[in-house]
Amino acid sequence: MNDPFQTLGVDARFDLDLGAVEKRHRDLSRALHPDRYADASATERRMSLSRAIEVNEAWRALRDPVRRAEALLTRAGVAFGDAGEPKAPPTLLMEMMEAREELSEAAHAKDAARIAGIASRVRDREAGCVERLGRGFDAAAGDAGKAIALLPTLGELRYLRRLEDEISAIEETLAE
């Protein structure tokens, strides 16, 4: 994947003004729109389309805190993913298991209020992870040694995101 910060021409930092990044995305998308290249050569049309795809992918990466953190880690030269990340702490795994059990019980009982409470707690904890990542990336300033320390928080955010996806699926099922 290309560097999404470079693709959109924005500062490589975790705490971005997403409104400004979205405007930059729209401006680039408008400039690269296929209608602008209708009379261009086939090569120019292909290059424009390829660049538009890169711009769209960069926007998707930067608006997602997990993917934005991964892009910053990549820039810092930090290996992450299955091979590079430390194992999740047992306490986090236990907390996720307990939250899933509570969610399962609430879903089985069709207790929308309890599910909403779980969702609220997950969103609050997610916000805390995002805040810690922002502070951590500011402190790391591209230093791989310091950025490595952010991997557990990124892992926690991934777990919370998966739990949030499960909650959303249950809420959709109950709404039907």
Q: What torsion, rounded to 10 degrees, do the Cα atoms 49, 52, 56, 62 define? A: 140
CATH of the domain at 103: 1.20.1280.20
Dihedral sign for Cα 44, 5, 60, 86, please: positive
Report pLDDT digits (tens) over 133-170: 999 999 998 888 899 999 999 999 999 999 999 999 99
Boundaries of domain holding 154: 90-175
In a domain, 68, yes or no: no
Cβ atoms of 37 and 48 closer than 8 Å: yes
* 117 and 159 assigned to the same domain: yes
Which residue, among 84, 82, 64, 49, has the nearest Cα to 14 in the 3D structure?
Answer: 64
* 59 and 105 assigned to the same domain: no
pLDDT band at 1 (very low <50, low <70, confident <90, very high): low
Structural domains in the chain (count): 2
Report pLDDT digits (tens) over 107-142: 999 999 999 999 999 999 999 999 999 999 999 988
Predicted TM-score of the model (pTM): 0.86
In a domain, 18, yes or no: yes
> 85: alpha, beta or left, given left = phi > 0 and alpha = psi -120 to 50?
beta
